[in-house]
Amino acid sequence: MPATFNLEPLDISLHIPHHFRCPISLELMRDPVTVSTGQTYDRLTIEAWVATGNTTCPVTRQPLMDFNLIPNHTLRRLIQDWCVANRSFGVERIPTPKQPAEPVLVRSLLRQAASGPYGLRVSSLRKLRSLARESDKNRIVIAANNAREVMMSIAFADVGSDLRHDSLAVLSVLALTEEECVSVGSDPDRIGFLVNLLFHSSIDVRVNSAAVIESVVAGIRSPELRTEISGAEGIFDGIVGILNYPFIHPRGVKVGIKALFALCLAKQHRGRAVAAGAVEALVERLAEVENCGDAERALATVELLCRIPAGCEAFEAHALTVPLLVKVTLKVSGRATEYAAGALLALCSASERAQRDAVAAGVVTQLLLLVQSDCTERAKRKAQMLLKLLRNSWPDAYVVKTEDFAGSDVVLF
């Protein structure tokens, strides 16, 4: 964990040595690095300085001859010693940061992965995979050295399974260009290979394949090509199988939800998602998802599937669907609330039982709060339509007088 500091007490009772502070932020440095002018800064602040288009040294105003950041290990150790010596003042020792992968090392590993003895190629790919999973910075360094082309040339070649699987693992964490997505998505053999891997005995291989499929579908603009990929035989069964994996696998859940959402954007094949068990998988996982982005995608997929009769029927038949949708309303984010309200509107429009379940779960209170909140206008419109739909199902406790909501956005009926 990064060091935490209560700066107000420290400023009063503890003097931080001047050379321990970053010249930009004036805060204690956690990862001091030296630039080409010889000045030292905290890594995050100098990276932010350069990222905004600055090409000069903040202190000397001299042009930066290059943007290499050299770790100042001696200064970092001095800062760590100072932190330990001042523990009684509430200072926590800063951890030793992991350094980004060296471009020279990455290029060497890529060369070894591309050709040479089989064992060395596998070993190099696994080292690249470990580096790629360590940090965003490493992934940027790896991608900048033509890694995607090398990984694709191995993953879709007639080589040993270890090479193909390990190259796919690296490819799964890199952002593909649109051209690369089209190259994979327009080749039935490549898509067929990825779909087959969704049923591999190793859950990691399955998840990596799903991640590449999601990246490809999301990166293609052509709706016709996206529809073609979504129509691949077994693709929904494979993705749903990942979501139904019986053991805890957070990355599998995240990737499975993203892939299912991307595939369900092709409305022609949503019925196949329902037939594969996507409804049951989504409801079960929605109760466990904690990450905001994952919850939003899961709810967006629920709403998409509620737009077809088979999806509505399947969701309505699951006892947890309506209570869960009511529960997440106003609890996760504005987008999540909008998707939940849309799904509830579709379900309640199709089923009186869903209406009764929603009212019993407390949806009226949630909707009344929603229309007065700062949620999106679309969410409010859906809430008002749902309130109108449910007006005959309101219990007596919700019968209110118009003046009770004077000046609000609530539309009473």
Is residue 277 within 8 Å of residue 240, measured between CB atoms? Answer: yes
Q: What is the mean pLDDT of each successive set of 10 residues along the chain, which is 413 residues long?
A: 40 75 92 94 90 89 88 93 87 81 92 94 96 88 92 95 96 94 96 97 97 96 95 96 91 95 95 96 86 89 96 94 90 87 93 90 88 85 89 58 40 35
> Which tokens hold the place of 129?
């995979």
CB atoms under 10 Å from CB of 55, counted, come to: 10
DSSP bridge partners of 21: 28
Instruction: Specify the pLDDT at position 395.
Output: 57
Compute the half-sphere exposure of residue 286: CA atoms within 13 Å on the CB side of its CA: 31
Under DSSP, the state recorded for 68 is -
Task: State the CB neighbour count (10 A cutoff) for residue 67.
Answer: 11
> pTM for the whole thing?
0.77
Angle subtended by helix axes 334-350 and 309-317, to nearest 10: 100
Closest CA to 302 of 310, 294, 311: 311
What is d(CA 377, CA 400) in angstroms, rounded to the nearest whole number? 24
Lookup result for tokens 């400023």: 11
Contact 136, 174 (CB under 8 A): no
Q: Give the residue from 378, 385, 238, 185 showing the smallest Cα distance to 300.
A: 378
Q: Write down the pLDDT at residue 393.
A: 65
Q: How far apart are CA 85 and CA 263, in angstroms?
A: 56
Q: Tell me what pLDDT residue 222 has.
A: 94
Pick from 144, 113, 117: nearest CA to 129 = 113
> Which two three-digit tokens encode residue 166?
């390990």
Give the position of tokens 């890694």.
Answer: 147
